[in-house]
Structure 1
Amino acid sequence: MAVLLPLGVAAAVVAALLPLTRVVLPGQWMPGTVVLIVAALASGYLARRAGLAALAVTLIETGVWAVLVMLFFLRDTALLWVIPTTETVDELFRLLATAAEEITYGAAPLRAGSPLAFLIVASVGLLAIVVDHVVVTARMPLLAGVALIAVSLIPSIVVPDEIDVVAFVLLSASILFLMRVDTLSRQAPKARAATRGAGVPATAAGIGVVAVVVTLVVAPSLPQPLARSAPGGVNVGSGIDATLQLGDDLRRPREVEVLRMYSTSPLPPYLRATTLSTFDGAVWLPDEDEAEVLDDQTEMESVSVASEIRLEEYTTDVSIQNLASTWLPMPFPAVGVTGLDGDWSTVADNRTVISDGGRTQDQEYEVLTQVPRPTREQIRTYDASPSGLRPELTQLPEGLPDIVGDLAREVTAGTSNDYDALIALQAWFRGSEFRYSLDAPVDDGFDGTGAEAVAQFLEQKEGYCVHYAGAFALMARVLDMPSRIVVGYLPGTSTTDAIEGQTVYSVSSSQLHAWPEIHFEGLGWISFEPTNSLGTPTNFSAATSLTGPAADRGDAAQTDDADPTPTPTLLPEETGPQEGQALGDRGESGGAVPVVGVVTALLLLLAAPGLLRAARTRRLLGAARAGDAVAAWSVVQDAAIDLGIPVPAGDTPRTLAARLVEDHGAPSAALAVLVEAVERASYAPSGTVASAAPETLADAAAASASELLRSAPIARRILAVATPRSLVMRPGSAFAGAGARART
């Protein structure tokens, strides 16, 4: 019976892992994960057979996990393949950072490289150890089942799809198996035999079958909520307001699918509709530049870049589902559009496409883009200069509130070039001082981008993309940098469909967005993303190109006609990188300072349990000095649990005290004082005089705990101080009594 629980745990963890294959393509991470699960659980089983305490079992399993993870992923940086070094720590952080970037910026299904495989294998191995401890040691299989179900649901939330029947059935069977084996292991042999003959297995199987049928058959047949249309037949939120009055659009209670797209770009691009350069103090106005007729036979001008700058081409196919607009959503920088119906024109300056009397509804078209990639060193040598540009790109309204200029100069003080100044502004907006909100602007009456609205936004530090983009653009102009604002759409969310091997993305009306652009002489328009908690800030790498997903798309740094766009992600981000630091860039020197910081952090982390335990003991002794006998007795119980001494629920204070004196060298006189006090507090009539003075209670508790610790073996004392189990185990719980079972 003892071997069945670890086997059930292994099966349940593997079953919970199966849905992950819809998010991450199967690869070498799967056998590695299975090997790690089996090895860790097998070591735990053998440790229990040897009669070791529950904490020792978990430590052994964790040790096996650490050794295998080192051998699988970090052996090249370790001594004898398993002893970590400072290089191992650096490699560990590199793997974690790279894996985080792959998850944040990648599109499902991901192809797992070493970083992502490391994260999956290590995480699932730890999950197996935790589940084993909860099921086998704490004997709480139902709690473990809830955790496993939650883990198995995550891939379905990330990539909605039909139910994975095989994984669901295996996980359900595994959880029912764990519960059944745990129940049988608690019964005496005669009762176990009687239960087997009472139809309990058949009942459990019946419950499982009903659950599977309800999940797979009944639930999908229930009515699903549908998006509704407005009375006129056009869905709510199916237009673009290019005057930046986007508040109502973003706050509409019902959203609709605007378009679908797929692209050969490594990440789905932002789609721009139009640009706004003129600000009259009240609103930003769309550009009305001269347009040229565009058809399938007319190509747009190619992107011109310096010979040392890499240029890559991508194609993006767009299908409009519900959008009535004269502006065509386009990736940037576009050099060609095919497949459009009707008459269309293109504006050369911003590479947007507008309708000559037609509409975007039901259009299906393909856009060719050419994306340049300058480096961080290159962009730092260029100025955000207004030379040769239209005057409205630097024009400021009369009576601009002083707060705009004052804050612009204050935030950028100390920077030595235009790029670093803009990065400082971007990081400031995305920092903890600001908060993204669709409601705050309405409540406080500044729903717009006028100069006064920008001033109020900078004071209140709450708003949505319109406020961030407007404030950033004006602050850049105060610093003599030409700026404009782009209105368009975020890239949307991935669907389960794929065309020509490319994931199809769905863009909804709520993903209407605005972001600022700054013009760099010799590079062109460069986008920044100041909106707190949306997108990813623009950053450039130190050597080759933009890092992170924008590097793959290459659209955060463009030439004269090339325009960058923020990276498409909706994950919150509290702060942006400082001083041009690229996302995930660890700097150009791996000096001693980061190592010292890592070591210090690890030491503080290791010391945290002991410090928390000491604080708890001081609090209990303080209560004992106030006359609390139960608090004094708790000091002794905690000390026993920390040393691995069982404190089961069936032991009375007198029984436990006798065992502590006889088997563990506790002082009998001090324990006698505590036992009499706690018994009197528990059973004596109210108002009875205490048997001992409060100071005596505290001294007896402290003396008993100290003597228990002194009498224990040195290894157990170290574990008691470094990893005090009493922080998570309470007297009388299954955990606290587990040591008794391990020794029987």
Structure 2
Amino acid sequence: MPSRGRRAPAPTDRGSAPWLVSALLATMIGLALWGLTPVLRDIGWWLEAVVSGAVVLLVAAAVRSIALRRFWGTIAGAATGLAFLTATFGDGSGFLGVLPTPETMAVFGELNRAGNRDILEQSIPADATEGIRFLLCVGVVAIAIAADGIAHLLRAPALAGIPVLVLLLVPSFVRPDFLDLPLFALTAAAWLALLVVHSRPVARRTAVGVGASAVVLALLAPAVLPAVQGPAPDEGSGGGLATGLNPIITLGDDLRRGNPRHALTYRTSDDSEQYLRLTVLDDFTGRSWEPSELPEPGRDVEQIGPVPGLAEGVPSTTITATIVVGDVASRWLPVPYAPTSIRGLDGAWSWDPEGLTVRTERSNAQGQGYEVDVVLPAPSVEQLVAAGSGPAAGMERYLALPPELPDSVARTALEVTEGLVSNYDRALALQQFFRAGDFTYSEQAPVEDGYDGSGAEVLGAFLDARSGYCVHFSSAMAAMARTLGIPSRVVVGFTPGSSVKEGEDDTIVHRVTTHNLHAWPELYFDGIGWVRFEPTPGRGTPPAFAPLDEDDPATPDVDESVPPPPTPAPTSTAGPTGAPEIPDDEPTEVPDESVASPDAPARAIPIGAVLPALVLALLLAPAVLRALRRARRLRAVDRGSALDGWDELRDTAFDLGLSSDVGLTPRQFAESVAPLLDDDAAAALARLRSAVEAHAFDRVSTPSDPADVSTVVHGLRRGAGVGRAIASALLPRSLVRAWLPTAARD
């Protein structure tokens, strides 16, 4: 009796074809990964991901070359992939460094959450953080295992390209113009080579012809199909706040939301209002303000270093702030300046000694409740004036300006500060220049007039239009300060919010919403450190300093003998500081991407919804094609074709791995599968065999019944078992039977 299962050829019979197939799969994966280079910076992530896929395929090929069963190669490749992930991303938690443990799974869970958050938060091109690199390697390992199993176990090389195709199409979901057609053609060429290697000589021309036609169709389809547009953002939908590596990138979109959403609440030991900082942006690249350094892991936030630049003799007070973050997804922690100790955080957090910002690699500010001890420097006007008129030593990076900065920025700064000597007087003059009334606050004007964003080129247009929001005011004042030799940087965070009394003791609680998102400049004064200024009209409160004993005659426009009064923020529609009452558990909504700034991330369609749908459609495509073929054959049987019914039974047995010899006679085939069938299915098989034999010998017989075909098909599936039945339905090998080598068909 012929064998019912798939017989693996002896190792000596395998030759170099399996190695060549694995090499071509690795090439396809490497080419598809290269398509992500417009999305992610550098190429270190690409090398790491390619290695992860290559080791899986290499080990699988090596084991398959000596093992008696093909499946051992795929199993060995999967084990190698897991070991690679453990060694690379397990933080030493694996047994012997490569065998995963429960602690390793916990590390992987943190990396998964961090990677997904980084994808949502960053702009393009994004930094390949550890979380993103982990997700890439996990995806590549999974694709390599799937492609190896499809090509070698199921012997369906045409279908092995489906997992790689998903990877190849990912950049086009981020932005349609990221689809690299030459790269697509190269990957397709490797796929066609795979078909040639894995096809019988007589079928190679057909395989290559069909494959090449599919590639040409895929290349031409974008030119004739309509563009896909994402749905309009749902005003009530929840989501994360864009506070990734560079929060200023999407700050404009965050501010343009229709309704404020709860971000956090805080209270202080002295009931004072506090600006809450997220991150410091000190590198003015010309394209945007960016952080030049990130907090290094390992700096314990329970003990934060001294306040940069703060000398003895400058008055200060110490308070404690208790903060509860709402549904705001952020790796930057909202804290007042200057924190000295933080307690109660979940996860690993670290601080930056220059900016005193707090950040995590794998945790999240969302839902955190913590206490912060804060030192509040309170320099006097006299001390600020005494800080001098030139840049402090070692502050060169806070004075750097891009070459494309418009000349009008420096020229305006000189005009505004003409005749003033001290850095403090000039800083006050710059602040007053923006707040005096000639400038207006508007979140829409920069978008409508085409100068939105934080890059150097927009500052000239902003100074001419004299209308913008906090990004423009803070960027302009910081850049103008640098042209005057005053070290400066931009800070992103929250204004103090609105105050309410709660509880029986009337505790003052400050409620902060997404309308309190803000950017402001900090300027450096020798012996004092970094000092906040507020140039944005209608937002926040300018800082107040202790007065001089007497008015300084050098600044007739400013009376330093009394402290400058706080400027309350008006409750205007342009940008309210005090927000309406909203529930604490109300989620932060997704930024409105229908009006995006030039620096905003480009997303043509919602990848989170479309990509899974595309993957599902690709995975189900073979099953749908097989079902259509079966339906066509059953209709032919109903019209009297016994041969179509018998072809369906042969293909079903081939898909299930029960019989692969096309040379079996109907009687031999029936005898080989009969033990798997119950009485009803066996009787139906006998009737079908009788009909096909009568047709072969031109004898008159009873026409075949489509119901008999269906009965035998169901019987074969039951006899083969659930696992084989599911595999045969999802990946029916009979679709590519003509392309398979003789060993897979006989």
TM-score interval, smaller chain: 0.3 to 0.5
Higher RCO, 1 or 2 (CA under 8 Å, sep at least 6)? Answer: 2
Give the TM-score normalised by the residue count of structure 1.
Answer: 0.41
Structure number with bigger Rg? 2
